[in-house]
Amino acid sequence: MNQPIALLLATPLLSALLILLLPNLKRHGIARLSVGLSALTFAIAVISLALYMFHPHPQWLSSGLAWGSLYLDPLTSVMTMAVTGISLVVHVYSVRYMAEEPGYARFYILLDLMTATILLMVSAGDLITLLVAWHLIGVLLYFLLGHDLVRPTAQRYAFWSLFTYRLGDLPLILASVLLYKAYGTFAIPTLFERIAENPDVQTVLGLPLTFAVAMLIALSAFARSAQFPLHTWLPYTMEGPTPVSALMHAGIVNAGGFIINRFAPVFVHAGLVLHIVFAVGMVTAIMGSVLMLTQNDIKKSLGYSTMGQMGFMFVECGVGAFSLAIYHLVAHGLFKGTLFLDAGSMIGNARKQDGVPHDDIYTFVVERKPVASRMPWVVAAAVTLVVPFLVLGVSRWLVAGDFIGQQGAVILLFFGWATGAQLLFATYRLRAENPWRLMAMIILSLIIVVFGYTVIEHAFNLFIYPDESLRNRIYAAASIPLGTFETLVAILTAAIVLGWIATYYATANGKQQSGNTSAARLAIYSLISREFYVSDVYAWLTQGILGLSQRMNVWLRWV
């Protein structure tokens, strides 16, 4: 068996085992042991990735049993490095953060076991190992989120997470059973070879097998990555310790994107499922973003931000940009982990300085600074619409000249366009002494970021999916009829152009809203503030099921 990958799994397990077997170890000893072995795990992951880059050939490593095999491919290599990196940061942060908490040893044991289990999931070489790891992550997360054994809310929300995760386990189990029945193997590489040879060997309830399996995997991914309406558990996971929230939002919740990538050879035969993934991701991204903007609690706001980001990750999968979803997953993991770990300092700073800017008169009279101004709105609107479009288009054309033929790439360009425009609009709203200079600097930054991002993303795509035909088949599966696509592009372009012009006009010429709020606005506000009543529906269903259970026990006299 390949030494680095086997060591990678063994190191966090060894850490958990040593802490368990050494009950007299003091807190600083526990921390040193766990952080030291966590750093070693990260180093092994880096070596493993480096070795893979020198010898880029996927390896399937058998355990000698029907399960317990490992699969080392580009996806595994990248994911192990991301997971171990985030885990190391969380380990280090927890040393002081958890110092006053009871159950220090238990916390580090669970953290190490979680790291080992996630590593097992990303490197699983057969369906059984994948299922074992997939299932165990939910159980371990339950104990980590419920680390505070006394607080009822921590336990309640830990249970929400466990239940949603168990709900997500079931479709993956069913998909594995269907695949085994149809192809007679649990080994992932062999399975993919047989699927490629004969994709629709059977039908399930009249549907092609690959469609049914892809749909089940997508359902599993929806639950794991908090897609609407299975998202309610995610914003409340901050009831657990902050390092767990960071690990959760930076790593564990991304499992949905990973599982779709792992089963990419199935999804190339299930284009309709990719369209469903796109639609669910889009709805989740919008809902998550709306809910994020209406929160007054920074951690809950970050929770909904993760929901929105997960939605975007599924949108990327839905348009066939599978490797981009992995890139997004890693990048989101790093920045969201940082935000969570920094949330406490932010709250502390906000208590000292509210951050509200002074008005123009105060700035001019008291601070003796010139009054800030804005660019003319027509110019700003033109820059906002043209510059991001050009920058994105040119950067994409430089790395892949034929991108116009790829629907997924075009849709992603639209997202980039809207995001770039958002940045420039935010710049326009900032009053500055020299607004032209400010806008120029922001545009320069945008160019550097977009070009850097495009080059990295392109290299990442070539590394994760070196097989060009697979890349093209994924894009082809995600495509829709050309006429429909062109109509959608025209509508979207018109919406973006007219929408931004209207926004700029309203910002430049509009008046502040004041006075009575309309009934419709209040209705929308209450809908959002109640988080679209999704949790209420679940609470109502739960009460119904528990009531039925109780009535049956009473009727049947508890035997």
Partner 1 sequence: MALTLAAAFFLPLFPLSIVFNGLLMRLSNPYARFALVLLWPQIGIAALSFTNQAIPEYMVIWAIISSGLYALRLLTVRDLGLWAGFLASSSLALTWGLAAHHTPVEMHLFAFWFSLPAALLTLLAGSLSRRFGAAYAGLYGGLASSMPRLSILLVITAFVAIATPPSPGFFAMLNLLQRLSLLAAIGVLAIWLLWSWAATKLMQGFVLGADRRHGLPDLGSAAILLYMGVLCVFVVTGLYITGDAL
Give me the least distance between CB of 473 and partner 1, in Å please: 28
Q: Judged by CB under 8 A, which of 60, 97, 159, 453 binds partner 1? A: 159
Give me the least distance between CB of 166 and partner 1, in Å please: 5
d(CA 218, CA 173): 12
Stretch that binds partner 1, among 86-94, 174-182, 220-228, 281-289 (CB under 8 A): 174-182
d(CA 193, CA 366): 73
Is 61 a binder of partner 1 (CB under 8 A)? no
* CA atoms in the 13 A half-sphere facing the CB of 422: 6
| Beta carbons of 95 and 26 less than 8 angstroms apart | no
Classify 59 as helix, strand or coil. strand
Is 539 a binder of partner 1 (CB under 8 A)? no
Is 203 a binder of partner 1 (CB under 8 A)? no
Task: Please name every residue paired with 126 in a beta bridge, in sequence order, or none if there are none.
Answer: 187
**72 or 121: CB nearest partner 1:** 121
Is 550 a binder of partner 1 (CB under 8 A)? yes
Is 135 a binder of partner 1 (CB under 8 A)? yes
Backbone CA torsion sign across 200, 206, 211, 213:
negative
- Residue in 217, 225, 213 with CA at minimum distance from that of residue 254: 225
Distance between start and end Cα atoms, the chain: 52
Is 174 a binder of partner 1 (CB under 8 A)? yes
Q: Judged by CB under 8 A, which of 173, 382, 470, 476 binds partner 1? A: 173
Is 21 a binder of partner 1 (CB under 8 A)? no
- Cβ burial of 470 (10 Å; 0-12, 13-18, 19+) is middle
User: What region, left, alpha or beta, does residue 69 occupy, with left being phi > 0 and alpha being psi -120 to 50 degrees?
Assistant: beta
Is 162 a binder of partner 1 (CB under 8 A)? yes
The token pair at 338 is: 């940082």
Give me the least distance between CB of 300 and partner 1, in Å please: 23
- Cβ burial of 225 (10 Å; 0-12, 13-18, 19+) is buried
Q: Judged by CB under 8 A, which of 62, 155, 419, 535 binds partner 1? A: 155
**356 or 556: CB nearest partner 1:** 556
Amino acid residing at 498? L
d(CA 524, CA 447): 38
Q: Under 8 Å CB-to-CB from 9, ≥6 apart: which residues?
A: 70, 116, 119, 120, 123
Helix (H) or strand (E) holding 207: strand 207-208
Q: Judged by CB under 8 A, which of 50, 53, 65, 490 binds partner 1? A: 65
Is 548 a binder of partner 1 (CB under 8 A)? yes
| Beta carbons of 358 and 367 less than 8 angstroms apart | yes
Give me the least distance between CB of 20 and partner 1, in Å please: 11
Is 163 a binder of partner 1 (CB under 8 A)? yes
Is 132 a binder of partner 1 (CB under 8 A)? yes
Is 7 a binder of partner 1 (CB under 8 A)? no
Q: Kindly identify the residues of this chain, within the stretch 399-418, that bind partner 1 according to CB under 8 A.
A: none
**54 or 555: CB nearest partner 1:** 555
Give me the least distance between CB of 149 and partner 1, in Å please: 5
| Site residues (vs partner 1, CB under 8 A) | 65-68, 128, 131-132, 135-136, 139, 142, 146, 149-150, 152, 155, 159, 162-163, 166-167, 170, 173-174, 176-178, 180-181, 186, 204-205, 545-546, 548-550, 552-553, 556, 558-559
